[in-house]
Amino acid sequence: MKIGSIDLDFQPLLLAPLEDITDSSFRQLCKGYGADMVFTEFISSEGLTRKAAKSFNKLDFDETERPVAIQIFGHDPEAMRQAAILAAEADPDSIDINFGCPVKKVVSKGGGADLLRDIPRMINITKAVTNAVNLPVTVKTRLGWDEQSKNIVEIAEKLQDCGIAAIIIHGRTRAQLYKGVSDWTLIGKVKNNPAMKIPVIGNGDIDSPQKAKQMFDDFGVDGIMIGRAAIGNPWIFKQIKTFLTSGETSDAPDINERISVCRTHLINSVALKGERRAILEMRRHYSGYFRTLPHFKAHRLKLLTFNSLDEILSLFDQILQENQI
C-alpha cells in the first residue's frame, strides 16, 4: 500500500493517534513490534500558530518511528494551513487532519468530529492543508455526526477530490463516542466505491488478530489502524502480523519481557516530558501491560497512586520476583 510516496507493506497496521498515550516513547515500542506507521498525539492548530510549548513539543519524534504522521486539528482553514506548514518543518512523512475526535473539549470549539456537521468547512480546511505542504496529507474521520447523517461515502469522495493521499475511517458516528459496536459496513462501501482511488484504512474495535483478518477479508480495506487495543499492549502488532502471514496465534510476552518493555516505556516517557506528567499518563497503560497477571490487584492500586519513578521501578522488580517460575 502507498500513501503518496510512502511505501507500506501489504495489509499494513497503523498506530492511531491517542491523546496522552501515543507519545514518542510508546510509538517507538509499537514500531519495534511491527507497526507499519505511527501517528502523533493530535496537535491543536491554534496551539501551533500561537507557538505554545506543549503543542510544539508534540512535533518531536525519533527517526526510528518513520514513517510517522503528525496529526493536527482545528476549525479555521487559515490556522490549519499555517499549522500544516509548521508541522511540515518538523520533517514528518505525512500530515494527518483530525476530523474524527468526538470529545467535548474539541467538538465544542468546532474541531474534530464537529466538522462532520459542516462539510463545506471540512473541505475548505482540507484544501488549505493539501495546498500548503509538499507532503502526503491524510484525513481521519468517522461515519458521520449521528445515525441520521452517516454520509461518509459522499464525504470520502469530496475529500479525495481535495488531494488527500488516504482516508482513515473510524466505524462509529460522533454521537456514539466509543460506545456500541464499530460498524465496518460503510467503511467497506467507501473502499468498494469505484470512484475511490486512494487507500481506505479502517479503524475501530480491532482488538485481536482474528478480528483484523476478518476486516481485511470481509471489507477489503487497504490497511487497519489500531488504537485503544494497543494501550499497554504494543505487541498486538506482532501478534496480528504473525496471524495474517501464517495463521498462527501467539501469546503475549512472558513477564520478563512485559516488565522490560513497561520499564523502558516509563523511563523514556519521563525523559521526554518529566516525571510528574509521565507517571500520570503511564497509568493508562498498566492494565494492558499486566493483563492476566495473577494477584495483580494490590500492585495495580500502588501503580495508580505512586508518584515517584524510583517507587514504581522498585515495584516492577517486586512484581517480577513474585512471578518468576
Residue pLDDT, tens place only, 180-234: 899 999 999 999 999 999 999 999 999 999 999 999 999 999 999 999 999 999 9
Q: List the grid coordinates of 85.
A: 506548514
Is residue 15 within 8 A of residue 35, CB to CB? The reply is yes
Q: Pick the catalytic residue from 30, 101, 162, 262.
A: 101
User: Residue 141: phi, psi to the nearest 5?
Assistant: -145, -170
Cell of 185: 459496513
262: annotated active-site residue: no
pLDDT surpassing 80 at residue 324 = no
The structural domains of the chain, ordered by start, are: 2-246 (3.20.20.70), 255-322 (1.10.1200.80)
Q: Model confidence over 253-274: pLDDT tens digits?
A: 999 999 999 999 999 999 999 9
List Cβ<8 Å contacts ≥24 apart for 212-219.
Answer: 212/13, 212/240, 212/243, 212/244, 213/240, 213/243, 213/244, 215/184, 216/11, 216/244, 218/184, 218/188, 219/184, 219/185, 219/187, 219/188, 219/191
- Give the mean model confidence (pLDDT) for residues 125-138: 98
For the entire predicted model, the pTM comes to 0.95
